Amino acid sequence: MSGEPARSGPGGGPVPRWIAERDLPGRRLFVAVPLSSDVRDDVVHLVERVRATVGMQPGPGPGGPVREVRWVRMDGLHLTLRFLGPTLDERVPALSDAIRAAADGVAPFRVRLAGGGAFPGPGRPRVLWLGVTEGVERLGGLAHSLEERLVAAGWPRDERPFRAHLTLARSDGVAAGPATASALIAASADFDAEWTADRLILFESHTGGGPARYEALTEVGLTG
């Protein structure tokens, strides 16, 4: 899932959550279902096709380069179940316990990716994504179970509805955003990849020096 706006900037536009929270104390944590290695490779090839297509578009001036959207790191592709944001070290054990409780008794299940799109729309995209067409209810059930256990452990409830999707890039209003969204939608029209979701991972997001890098802190298997 993508970070939602947290507050307004000087011009009245939304400020992404990662910017609003980057100076708060604690580790930036989230819980996610990772992709299998073969599906990740399929997504990487799709993104390469999209980037090659957009790279052939004219720039803002004569011969000017096209400023790309901000692609996520392809080695850390995942489906986010819950973004926690800055979390103090002393709360991590309780968070890990909540993840284990949410996964308890849940069997592995199939997840399918197909088709692409953009939030809020391809004309002025903020987030570019691939859709989830199988496993949506199971993912939603896990997200709900995790949410209830987090609330019981003292976390504030996240009132935003869960939307199963794979975030690929954030456009941040760059001129190439609409062209990239259109290229992604066209390239992913026949994209179809599936894998068995068999674990949840608590990730820490490390930012700075390019796309965020994700470090696995806790891994919990889905054994049923």
Q: Domain residues of the chain, as ranges?
A: 14-57+64-221
State yes or no: is 78 an active-site residue.
yes
Q: Which of 45, 144, 165, 206 is catalytic?
A: 165
State yes or no: is 144 an active-site residue.
no
User: When comparing pLDDT for 24 and 187, which is higher?
Assistant: 187
Structure tokens at 105: 């008794």
Task: Give the residue-averaged pLDDT of 37-57.
Answer: 92
Q: For residue 68, what pLDDT is reported?
A: 87
Q: For residue 209, what pLDDT is reported?
A: 75
Q: Is the pLDDT of residue 63 over 80?
A: no
DSSP 194-208: EEEE-EEEEEEEE-S
pLDDT digits (tens, 9 = 90+) for 147-200: 999 999 999 999 999 999 999 999 988 899 999 999 999 999 999 999 999 999
Q: Is the pLDDT of residue 71 over 70?
A: yes
**What is the pLDDT confidence band of residue 224, given thresholds at 50, 70 and 90?**
confident
Question: For 14-57+64-221, CATH number?
Answer: 3.90.1140.10
**Spatial contact of 21 and 34, defined as CB atoms under 8 Å apart:** no
Q: CB-based contacts of 95: which residues, under 8 Å, 6+ apart?
A: 29, 84, 87, 150, 153, 202, 218
Residue 111 has what DSSP assignment?
E
Q: Is the pLDDT of residue 25 over 60?
A: yes
Q: Is the pLDDT of residue 125 over 90?
A: yes
**What is the pLDDT confidence band of residue 1, given thresholds at 50, 70 and 90?**
very low
Q: Is the pLDDT of residue 22 over 80?
A: no
| pLDDT above 70: percentage of residues in the chain | 84
Q: What is the pTM of this model?
A: 0.83
Q: For residue 218, what pLDDT is reported?
A: 94
Task: Give the residue-averaged pLDDT of 111-116.
Answer: 98
